[in-house]
C-alpha cells in the first residue's frame, strides 16, 4: 500500500484579471486545467473539465479518465454554443494513483504538464500539444527559442476544439520519494526547469513546495495564471490492511480555486474500487526503504490530501488572444472577426458580423487599412473602425486612392 501527500496552489498572476486555471485533488486523482477563450469561457471550460473528474470515485484506469474527459468535452462543446462562451476550451493534465499497485495513470491534452522528480532529477512526462512543440519536433525551433516564442501559448489540442479529441495516456510505476508535479504553463513559462528542480529538491514539505513554486512564478513576472499540484509518494507498507483506513466523503473537497483553509486535510479511502488499473506485480521492497515525511507521527496508512489554494486578486488587465477583433475581407465584403488575423490553429478567427459592405466600394486608403487587419480589444472598437472606412465617391474609379 502506497501512501502519499498532495497539495495544490494557484495564483491569478500579476497581469490577468481572472484566474482561468482550475485544479483538483480528490482521493486518488489530481488534475490541472487551464481554460482559454475569452473572459468567461476559459474559466467555465476548465471548471467543467475539473467538475467532471471530481465526480469519479475510487481507483480508476486511464481509460476511465479518458471516458470522463470525453464527457467533459461534449459538455464544453454544448455549453460553448452560448454566445458569451463561444470558442471556450481548456487543457487538462490528470493523474490517478492506484495505492495498491503503486501504479500512476496519466492523461493530458494541451500544454499543461506533468513532471516527475526522482533521485533529484526532474523529467517532463507529458508532451505538449502546442504549436511551438510541433516546431521544435520538426527542427524549426530550438527548445530555447520555444521558451520565449510569442506564440508559445497556442495549443494544437484541447477540450472544446471539436467533437473528437485525442488524449495522450500512459502509466508510471511510482517509487517512494517520487514527486509528481502537475502544472499549468504559467509555471514553466516563468520558471526554468532547472529552477523547478532546485525548488523541489530544496523544499521537502509538500505544501511549502507548491507555495514556493507558485510564488517564484508570480515574482518572475506572473504573466499568466499559475497552478501547481504536487503528489509526494511518501511510503509503502504492504502489511497494512485497507480496513484500518479512515473514510472520507470526497464530495466535500472544493475543487474551485477559491481561498481555502490551508489546514484542510482530507483522508482518502483507498478501499473504494470501481475501475481498477490492471494489477502489476508487487515490488519486493525492503522495509528499510519506508520513510515518513513531515506528517511525522501519523500512520503511513493514512492517505492524506492537503488542499491549499491561493486565490489572490491582482489588479491588471489582460485580453486573451481570442478576445481580439479585426475587420477583414470575407468573400468580397467587410466583416468583423474575432480571433487572430493569422488564424493559427486554435485561434482560427470567427466571423462575428458581416457588414455587407462590398470591399470594392472602399477607397484605396481604406482598403489598405482593412488589409492591415488591425486588432481591436473590443467589438465596439472594431465597429467604429469599420464605420470610419471611406467609400469611393460616386462616379469615381474604384482604384482612386484620393477619395
Ligand atoms: Mg496558462
Distance of CA 290 from the midpoint of ligand 1 (Å):
37
- Tell me the mean pLDDT in the region 121-133: 96
Distance of CA 12 from the midpoint of ligand 1 (Å):
10
What CA dihedral angle connects 330, 336, 339 and 340, to 10 degrees? Answer: 60
Residue 131's pLDDT is what?
A: 93
How many other C-beta atoms lie within 10 A of the C-beta of residue 17?
Answer: 14
Residue 16's pLDDT is what?
A: 93
d(CA 349, CA 267): 46
d(CA 66, CA 72): 10
Between 321 and 281, name the one with better pLDDT.
Answer: 321
DSSP element (H, E) containing 304:
strand 303-306
Indicate the pLDDT class of residue 332, thresholds 50, 70 and 90.
confident
CA contacts within 13 A on the Cβ side of 242 = 12
3-state helix, strand, coil in the chain (%, to 5): 30, 25, 45
Residue 306's pLDDT is what?
A: 33
DSSP element (H, E) containing 106:
strand 103-109
Task: Please enumerate in sequence order all residues whose Cβ is within 8 A of that of 127, keeping only pairs 6 or more positions apart, or say none.
Answer: 108, 133, 168
Chain length of the chain: 403
Low-confidence winner among 168-177, 210-219, 312-321 (lowest mean pLDDT): 312-321
CA distances from 264 to 180, 193, 306, 361 (A): 21, 30, 6, 65
How many other C-beta atoms lie within 10 A of the C-beta of residue 210?
Answer: 28
Beta bridge partners of 186: none
Indicate the pLDDT class of residue 345, thresholds 50, 70 and 90.
low
Distance of CA 203 from the midpoint of ligand 1 (Å):
24
Please state whether the predicted TM-score (pTM) of the whole model is above 0.75: no
Between 152 and 64, name the one with better pLDDT.
Answer: 64
Q: What is the pLDDT of residues 108-120, one digit of tens each?
A: 999 999 999 999 9
Distance of CA 153 from the midpoint of ligand 1 (Å):
7
Per DSSP, the three-state class of 160 is coil
Distance of CA 274 from the midpoint of ligand 1 (Å):
33
Backbone angles phi, psi at 356, to 5 degrees: 60, 20
Q: What is the pLDDT of residues 254-312, one digit of tens each?
A: 333 322 233 333 333 333 333 333 333 333 333 332 222 222 223 233 333 333 333 22
Distance of CA 185 from the midpoint of ligand 1 (Å):
5
Instruction: Please name the residue that has the C-alpha cell 478501499.
Output: 271
Indicate the pLDDT class of residue 62, thresholds 50, 70 and 90.
very high
d(CA 42, CA 141): 28
The mean predicted confidence, pLDDT, of the chain is 77
Q: What is the pLDDT of residues 174-196, one digit of tens each?
A: 999 999 999 999 999 999 999 99
Tell which residue, 57, 193, 64, has the closest CA to residue 125. 193
Between 396 and 178, name the one with better pLDDT.
Answer: 178
Residue 291's pLDDT is what?
A: 27
Residues with CB under 5 A from ligand 1 (ion): 34, 184-186, 224
252 pLDDT above the threshold of 60 = no
Residue 275's pLDDT is what?
A: 36
Residue 394's pLDDT is what?
A: 56
Beta strands (DSSP E) in 134-263 are 168-173, 179-183, 226-236
Q: What percent of the chain is modeled with pLDDT above 90?
A: 53
Kind of pairing between the strands at 226-236 and 179-183 = antiparallel
Residue 314's pLDDT is what?
A: 29
Instruction: Please name the residue that has the C-alpha cell 473504494.
Output: 272
Distance of CA 237 from the midpoint of ligand 1 (Å):
38
Distance of CA 111 from the midpoint of ligand 1 (Å):
8
Indicate the pLDDT class of residue 360, thresholds 50, 70 and 90.
confident
Residue 284's pLDDT is what?
A: 31
Distance of CA 90 from the midpoint of ligand 1 (Å):
9
Distance of CA 181 from the midpoint of ligand 1 (Å):
16
Distance of CA 81 from the midpoint of ligand 1 (Å):
23
Amino acid at each position: 500500500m502506497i501512501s502519499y501527500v498532495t497539495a495544490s496552489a494557484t495564483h491569478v498572476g500579476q497581469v490577468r484579471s481572472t484566474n482561468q486555471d482550475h485544479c483538483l485533488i480528490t482521493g486518488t486523482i489530481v488534475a490541472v486545467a487551464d481554460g482559454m477563450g475569452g473572459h468567461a469561457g476559459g474559466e467555465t471550460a476548465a471548471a467543467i473539465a475539473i467538475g467532471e473528474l471530481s465526480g469519479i470515485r475510487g481507483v480508476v484506469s486511464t481509460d476511465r479518465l479518458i471516458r470522463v474527459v470525453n464527457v467533459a468535452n461534449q459538455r464544453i462543446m454544448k455549453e460553448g454554443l452560448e454566445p458569451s462562451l463561444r470558442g471556450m476550451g481548456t487543457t487538462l493534465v490528470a493523474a490517478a494513483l492506484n495505492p495498491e499497485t503503486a501504479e500512476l495513470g496519466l492523461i493530458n491534452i494541451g500544454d499543461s504538464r506533468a513532471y516527475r522528480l526522482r533521485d533529484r532529477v526532474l523529467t517532463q512526462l507529458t508532451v505538449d500539444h502546442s504549436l511551438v512543440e510541433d516546431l521544435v519536433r520538426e527542427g524549426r525551433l530550438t527548445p530555447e527559442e520555444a521558451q520565449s516564442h510569442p506564440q508559445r501559448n497556442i495549443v494544437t489540442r484541447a477540450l472544446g476544439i471539436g467533437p473528437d479529441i485525442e488524449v495522450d495516456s500512459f502509466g508510471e510505476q511510482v517509487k517512494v520519494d517520487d514527486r509528481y508535479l502537475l502544472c499549468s504553463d504559467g509555471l514553466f513559462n516563468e520558471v526554468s526547469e532547472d529552477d523547478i528542480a532546485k525548488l523541489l529538491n530544496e523544499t521537502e514539505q509538500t505544501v511549502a513546495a507548491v507555495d514556493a513554486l507558485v510564488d517564484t512564478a508570480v515574482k518572475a513576472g506572473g504573466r499568466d495564471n499559475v497552478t501547481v499540484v504536487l503528489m509526494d509518494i511518501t511510503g509503502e507498507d504492504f502489511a497494512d490492511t485497507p480496513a484500518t483506513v479512515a473514510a472520507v466523503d470526497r464530495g466535500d473537497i472544493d475543487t474551485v480555486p477559491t481561498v481555502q483553509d490551508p489546514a484542510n486535510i482530507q483522508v482518502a479511502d483507498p478501499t473504494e474500487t470501481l475501475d481498477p488499473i490492471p494489477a502489476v506485480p508487487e515490488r519486493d521492497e525492503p522495509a528499510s526503504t519506508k520513510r515518513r515525511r513531515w506528517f511525522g507521527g501519523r500512520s503511513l496508512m493514512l492517505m492524506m490530501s492537503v488542499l491549499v489554494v491561493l486565490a489572490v486578486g491582482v489588479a491588471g488587465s489582460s485580453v486573451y488572444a481570442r478576445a481580439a477583433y479585426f475587420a477583414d475581407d470575407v468573400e468580397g465584403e467587410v466583416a468583423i472577426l474575432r480571433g487572430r488575423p493569422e488564424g493559427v490553429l486554435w485561434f482560427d478567427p470567427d466571423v462575428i458580423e458581416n457588414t455587407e459592405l462590398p470591399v470594392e466600394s472602399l477607397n484605396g486608403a481604406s482598403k489598405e487599412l482593412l488589409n492591415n487587419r488591425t486588432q481591436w480589444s473590443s467589438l465596439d472598437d472594431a465597429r467604429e473602425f469599420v464605420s470610419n472606412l471611406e467609400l469611393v465617391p460616386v462616379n469615381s474609379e474604384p482604384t482612386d486612392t484620393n477619395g
